[in-house]
């Protein structure tokens, strides 16, 4: 028997016969299905679905089980991030050790992104197995050291932004998920979603995509279409999780409803899209582009902070900032003994990270950079230092700590 029910009454075990949404012809990318995970309900809600048709002959009826009352409240909750439990601490593998392995994974990921882009330009779906395989390797690297892969993806030339961006956002998502202790399965789904989130840009004219200046309003309208182009390509793929579609379609939605393509707000946006929005903007504003220099990590985190509650989910924005650290890896700091260094790793004390010393303000002499763990010393960080003090760019500073 076919029944129409509200999304609030959708439960695990029900078979969805049809999705009832005002714009479902363009943006529903899944077939009839049995609901087997609460996150499916969360994502359907974020897509704007308010009612569905269920087939009680193929799944649970609305009054089938005494357990229904226990399931429904969890399904009715608006999309909200999991609570953070993991605190910043030393990585299990030193940065200098993991960076060698991360370099290999980075090149493999670049090859996968190239393949995804090439296939997209030919109107073909991505190779899902390749995307999951490289995302799994990226996850392993992040779990060994939370900073190595993220920093390597930021080392790129101005004309490599489009190529590196998806990989960088994916590595940030994995780092964020590791910090929040999100399950491996869901973290991989989100990482693959991030790898594929801009696949639709392959359909945007190069003159707009690579324009070395601000887009006109008309050009921006064309650029905004990439989100829907992305899911048009992804719907041709096999066995893609819902998170991938949701991230591709909604990573430009904003918490206050000012985003696109559907102007979703607050609890109508899925957790994966909320997290990707933060990582996407962070990578974009810290990257050197053909028309502007990227801002420093600290300035970028300040912007994320000031945009929390408007552009971004407030709690998730705060969690992301904590995930990156009080003194983010890659930031330039001034020490109490007069030396200047670049943060290159985490210790057991968030306020005393591992620093690559590159300059001595007191002695005014050049020396070979060396690594210093501040945690067992009396030396403290007294503030941030502009890279220009040492005649360095952020990219050049990253290359120093990756040596």
Residue 268, sorted as left (phi over 0), alpha (psi -120 to 50) or beta, turns out to be: alpha
Instruction: Give CA angle at 21 (192, 196), nearest 5°.
Output: 15
- The residue among 288 and 271 whose pLDDT is bigger is 271
Write the CB contacts of 299 (distance below 8 Å, at least 6 apart in sequence): none
95-324 falls under which CATH superfamily? Hypothetical protein af1432 (1.10.3210.10)
Region 110-118: what's the mean pLDDT? Answer: 94
3-state secondary structure of 6: strand
Residue 70 has pLDDT above 50, yes or no: no
State how far the Cα of 230 lies from the Cα of 196, in Å rounded to an integer. Answer: 8
The per-residue pLDDT of the chain, averaged, comes to 84
What's the CA gap between 110 and 112, in Å, rounded?
A: 5
Of 196, 200, 42, give the one whose Cα is nearest residue 121.
200
DSSP secondary structure string for all residues of 20-76: E-TTHHHH----SEE---HHHHHHHHHTT--EEEEETTTS--TTS-TTHHHHHHHHH
pLDDT grade, residue 74 (50/70/90)? Answer: very low
* DSSP structural state of residue 349: S
C-alpha–C-alpha distance, residues 186 and 177, integer Å: 9
Helices (H), 181-270: 184-196, 206-209, 217-224, 226-234, 242-250
Is the pTM here over 0.85, yes or no? Answer: no
Question: CATH 1.10.3210.10 region(s) of the chain?
Answer: 95-324
> Residue 66 above 80 pLDDT?
no
- What are 134-192's pLDDT values in tens digits? 999 999 999 999 888 998 888 777 667 878 999 999 999 999 999 999 999 999 999 99
Comparing CA positions, the residue from 180, 131, 171, 134 lying closest to residue 150 is 171
Contacts of residue 229, Cβ cutoff 8 Å, sequence gap at least 6: 199, 200, 201, 202, 203, 204
pLDDT of residue 278: 97
Mean pLDDT of all residues in 108-129: 94
Of the listed ranges 107-116, 284-293, 390-399, the one predicted with least confidence: 390-399
Helical (H) or strand (E) element with 178: helix 161-180
Neighbouring C-beta atoms of residue 321, cutoff 10 Å: 19
DSSP class of residue 312 equals B
Q: How far is it, in rounded angstroms, from Cα 38 to Cα 74?
A: 8
How far apart, in whole angstroms, are the C-alpha atoms of residue 44 and residue 21? Answer: 10
Q: 387-398: string of b/e by CB count within 10 Å (b at 16+)?
A: beebebebbebb
Residues 9-25 have a mean pLDDT of 71
And the tokens for 59? 């799944």
State both tokens at 240: 């893609």
- 151 in Cβ contact with 171 (< 8 Å): no
Q: How far is CA 283 from CA 125, 152, 173, 288, in A?
A: 25, 12, 11, 10
Q: Strand 2-6's sheet: what is its strand order? A: 2-6, 51-55, 15-20, 33-34
The mean per-residue pLDDT over the stretch 53-74 comes to: 62
Q: Could you give the residue ranges of the DSSP H alpha helices within 235-270?
A: 242-250
pLDDT for res 96: 80
Radius of gyration of the chain (CA): 23
**pLDDT grade, residue 297 (50/70/90)?**
confident
Mean local confidence (pLDDT), 235-257? 91
Task: Tell me the backbone φ, ψ of residue 372, rounded to 5 degrees.
Answer: -135, 120
Residue 56: count of CB within 10 angstroms of its CB: 16
Range in 26-40, 239-253, 312-326, 352-366 with the lowest mean pLDDT? 26-40
């Amino acid at each position: 028997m076919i029944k129409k029910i509200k999304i609030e009454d959708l439960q695990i075990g029900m078979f969805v016969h049809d999705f009832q949404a005002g714009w479902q012809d363009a943006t529903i990318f899944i077939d009839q299905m049995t609901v087997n995970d609460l996150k499916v309900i969360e994502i359907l809600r974020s897509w704007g679905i308010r009612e569905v048709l269920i087939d009680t002959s193929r799944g649970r009826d609305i009054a089938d089980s005494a357990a229904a009352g226990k399931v429904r409240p969890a399904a009715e909750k608006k999309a909200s991030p999991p609570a953070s439990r993991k605190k910043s601490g030393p990585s299990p593998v030193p940065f200098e050790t993991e960076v060698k392995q991360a370099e290999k994974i980075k090149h493999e990921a670049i090859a996968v992104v190239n393949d995804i882009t090439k296939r997209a330009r030919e109107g073909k779906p991505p190779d899902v197995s390749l995307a999951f395989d490289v995302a799994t390797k990226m996850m392993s690297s992040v779990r060994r050291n939370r900073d190595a892969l993220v920093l390597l993806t930021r080392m790129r030339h101005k004309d490599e932004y489009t190529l590196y961006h998806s990989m960088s956002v994916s590595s940030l998502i994995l780092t964020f998920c590791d910090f929040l202790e999100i399950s491996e399965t869901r973290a991989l789904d989100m990482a693959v979603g991030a790898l594929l989130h801009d696949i639709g840009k392959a359909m945007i004219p190069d003159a707009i995509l690579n324009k070395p200046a601000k887009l006109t309003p008309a050009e921006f309208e064309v650029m905004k279409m990439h989100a829907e182009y992305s899911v048009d390509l992804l719907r041709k793929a096999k066995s893609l999780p819902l998170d991938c579609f949701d991230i591709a379609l909604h990573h430009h939605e904003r918490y206050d409803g000012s985003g696109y393509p559907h102007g979703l707000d607050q609890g109508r946006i899925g957790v994966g899209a909320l997290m990707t929005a933060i990582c996407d903007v962070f990578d974009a504003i810290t990257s050197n582009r053909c028309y502007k220099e990227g801002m420093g990590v600290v300035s970028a985190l300040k912007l994320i902070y000031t945009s929390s509650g408007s552009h971004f989910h407030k709690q998730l924005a705060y969690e992301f900032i904590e995930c990156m650290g009080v003194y983010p890896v890659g930031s330039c700091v001034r020490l109490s003994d007069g030396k200047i260094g670049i943060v290159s790793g985490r210790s057991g004390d968030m306020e005393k990270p591992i620093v690559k010393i590159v300059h001595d303000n007191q002695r005014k002499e050049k020396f070979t950079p060396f690594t210093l763990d501040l945690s067992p010393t009396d030396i403290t960080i007294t503030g941030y230092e502009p890279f220009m003090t040492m005649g360095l760019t952020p990219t050049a500073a990253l290359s120093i700590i990756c040596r």
